[in-house]
Amino acid sequence: MTKHRILLVDDEADILEFVRYNLLKEGYEVHTASNGAEALEVAAATRPHLILLDRMMPVMDGAETCRAIRRDPRLRGTIVVFLSALGEEEQQLTGFGVGADDYLVKPIRMKLLVSRVKAILNRIDSQPAPPQPGIAIDRERYTATCDGREITLPRKEFALLDLLISSPGKLIPREEIYARIWGHEVVVGDRTIDVHIRKLRQKIGERHITTVKGVGYRYEP
């Protein structure tokens, strides 16, 4: 069974340590952040199953952080629970309005929190896993998946996608693509790369490959 990952976000160090200690005792993998901006970085790196999120924090508050989480396709399946001293009905409705799945009011009652966490994560386990967003490649089968949908690619298209996806956000010059995919000994036309890029875009979508005219191409997750 997968070890569940929890991201705990709070600007109060004593609360972070108290909750972290108790969740670690339950066998969870726990990551922490002290503000919303840091939380987004940690969440992108760790892909938590559950985020326990404070409302009032410096740099980026909980509501803004939750909105950003819901906009990130990599965190599509992540559960967000607010832990907040703002317990009024209006505040809770605001929390649900920005995308929270649940709302617990401080002060934290640890037994209740642990029970709620267990119930949420058990519910996740009982559901079929959603298709993973973005693109993944299988180098043994020469196939790729795009937002959970499998696509079959000819060898050159697969090699081109593999090269681009291996360095997300990095511009790959045309000369390097020619050398890596076709080799120095093979003579190909100037439009060869463009044709292969066009075919890839038809299969994986326009947004994933950016053209820098006359220079090269960049993969965008």
Q: What is the pLDDT of residues 93-146, one digit of tens each?
A: 888 999 999 998 888 889 989 998 999 888 877 665 555 567 888 877 778 888
Residue of 49 and 132 predicted with greater confidence: 49
Residue 169 has pLDDT above 70, yes or no: yes
Residue 41 has pLDDT above 80, yes or no: yes
Residue of 107 and 30 predicted with greater confidence: 30
Residue 187 has pLDDT above 70, yes or no: no
Mean pLDDT computed over 140-162: 84
> Is residue 184 packed enough to be buried (19+ CB in 10 Å), middle (13-18) or exposed (0-12)?
exposed
164: its two tokens: 């681009």
Which pLDDT does position 184 carry in this prediction? 65
Strands 149-152, 216-219: pairing is unpaired
Strands 29-33, 5-9: pairing is parallel
Query: 19, 38, 37, 20: which is closest to 29 by C-alpha?
Result: 20
Which pLDDT does position 166 carry in this prediction? 87
Half-sphere exposure of 146 (CA within 13 A, CB side): 16
Query: 4, 105, 207, 62: which is closest to 70 by C-alpha?
Result: 62
- Cα-based torsion angle of the residue sequence 11, 14, 20, 21 in order, rounded to the nearest 10 degrees: 170
Q: Is the dihedral of CA 60, 38, 46, 3 positive or negative?
A: negative
**Taking the domains of the chain in order of start, what are their residue ranges?**
5-126, 135-219
Segment 206-217, tens digit of pLDDT: 888 999 988 999
Which pLDDT does position 173 carry in this prediction? 93
Fold type of domain 5-126: Rossmann fold (3.40.50)
Average pLDDT, the chain: 87
Which pLDDT does position 58 carry in this prediction? 87
CATH architecture of 135-219: Orthogonal Bundle (1.10)
- Greatest mean pLDDT among 31-45, 92-106, 139-153, 180-194 lies in 31-45
